[in-house]
Amino acid sequence: MEQPGKNSKRREQEIERSGIVRFVLHVIIGIAGWTAFGYFWFTVIRRGVGSKVPVSIVAMAVFMILLVALTSIWVKHNIRISKRNRRRSAVAISKQPYTLDKVGAEVEIEDIEALKNSALIEITVTESKKVFKSLTV
């Protein structure tokens, strides 16, 4: 049985597949952006100089600025993630003692480290108390 918290072979394959999907999505978005850009230039050139040329030029400028802005935001986001040297793959575990639940019942945890690594947890609930125990399989 694999240890929880460690990347299993299956998880690594999911990450690899999502990387491929993400790459393909970025390529599609890039192609769509350049296609729209080319279409607007084609429209301007085909119409020649006329009353609608300024509208086309403004539309192209807005679209170019939007593409550059979104790409810059995405790059800055990725740089920020890489500086932290981690990916958001799991919920952070609170360091504060967990003594009461949301409804005010007392919470008793025998061994928090055992619970974190356990594949099976027994929870005993009474009116005023919840007891969490790690079970071995």
Binning pLDDT at 50, 70 and 90, where does residue 62 land? very high
Looking at residue 29, what is its pLDDT? 94
Tokens at 10, concatenated: 């299956």
Looking at residue 34, what is its pLDDT? 93
Instruction: Quote the CA–CA distance of 74 and 80 in Å, as a whole number.
Output: 10
Residues whose CB falls within 8 Å of the CB of residue 2, separated by 6 or more in sequence, listed in order: 8
Given a contact cutoff of 8 angstroms between Cβ atoms, the answer to whether 40 and 56 are in contact is yes
Residues whose CB falls within 8 Å of the CB of residue 95, separated by 6 or more in sequence, listed in order: none
For residue range 67-117, list pLDDT tens digits in order.
999 999 999 998 888 777 665 566 666 666 678 877 888 888 877 888 888
* Mean pLDDT score, 109-134: 84
Please tell me the pTM assigned to this model: 0.32
Q: Which residue has the higher pLDDT, 10 or 84?
A: 84
For residue range 27-56, list pLDDT tens digits in order.
899 999 999 989 988 887 787 667 777 887
